[in-house]
Structure 1
Amino acid sequence: MAVTMKRRTQFTLYTAANGQSQLAQLSELLDSAHLDVRLAAGESMALVYELGRVHNDDFHQESTPQLADKLRQLATDSHKYRAKKDRKQQRSSFRDILHYVEEGDPPDIQVRFGQEMLALDSWCRKKQYDAFCQVLGSGMNLHLTENDLVRDIFELGERISPLNFAAHKQSKLERHLMNAAAFKARTISRSKNRDKRSAVMTC
């Protein structure tokens, strides 16, 4: 676990230092003719912003408006030459990506399995979950319940028995409330910084 955390920290630092080039390369992929490529590029851009903002709340704020315009086009795409199902999936995904890039709103996805619930409340966690689903398929919920390694990766704690389910549920609620409070504080801080920059530009 310590090695995993160390590698994650190193990757976060690398992203913070090289975010501009990463975003530029990913931006080109948004024009791909293939939906899977566009979606992967968009989610990867959200992940770059998420990791960059760990060290700097204003990570690449100067390039956000141009990127937001591109994301907005994809979030409202109505081109008839795309399949209806593809248009719907693209608009839904890029709305979430746009909200995160512009406002800092993270994913809010809840995965229920048995008596438990996994909160996908960051792009990093969502990408982890998607990767495991591709490998484990329909057995994902079983692994979330029984596989100690998977539970450790998703910070689900020890396997739940009926006796300690109530205590576990309370702990998960407390963690969710703490995450919500932290997100609210970051949003307020980011808003104040934007107001300060606007005031300086006006003067």
Structure 2
Amino acid sequence: MIETSPAERLRMVKQGIARAAGLARRSPDKVNLIAVSKTQPAEAVVSMIEAGHRAFGENRVQEAQAKWPPLREIFPGLNLHLVGTLQSNKAEEAVQLFDCIHSVDRPSLVTALAKAMAKADRRPDCFIQVNVGDEPQKGGCVPNELPALVEACRTAGLPVIGLMCIPPADLEPAPYFALLAKLARRHHLPALSMGMSADFETAVMAGATHVRVGTNLFGERS
């Protein structure tokens, strides 16, 4: 297998976004690429920063706490997204560290985040995670619970900008992306966090505003 540089991998992913956006008659500038750097060492992240990228995603608060404060001192202007499940007892740390939280999925977390935001006087953008495939092993609220959760977020003053999903593995993702887009329109939410390395082009064609790409940028995780 031919080794490619971080800059080349970044270029290829952006090329894929542009291709899909063109097919959907969208501007690729409307799609935010989040480089998912979970389990990646700081050196790999630095290589991607030096290639010109600024938005990154982590799955765990604890890993991000160890990795990102030193990087942010060296490289100002980085944008950090929490894309994994968030425990309510980590809400304060998440609010202090992340610029966007993609995994709001239950009323208890809404309460914890609202309290943490008030305490820190910091309000990262939020996505509500929807379990579009109704899979018991996955986080996210099921679609019929979404109206109540949207209302709870708005009542608590959470800055919810959109919906997020991870479609079932090994199934065609397009219908699930279409469902998320429909739910977002119904609730007047403009942003859609959907699409990963295997399906980000399909997600862009379905209206994704944020795609979360790890493997295609960093290679397979060990």
TM-score bucket of the superposed structures, by smaller chain: under 0.3
Which one has the largest radius of gyration? Answer: 1
- Scaled by the length of structure 2, the TM-score of the pair is 0.25
The structure with more strand, counted as a fraction of residues: 2
- Scaled by the length of structure 1, the TM-score of the pair is 0.27
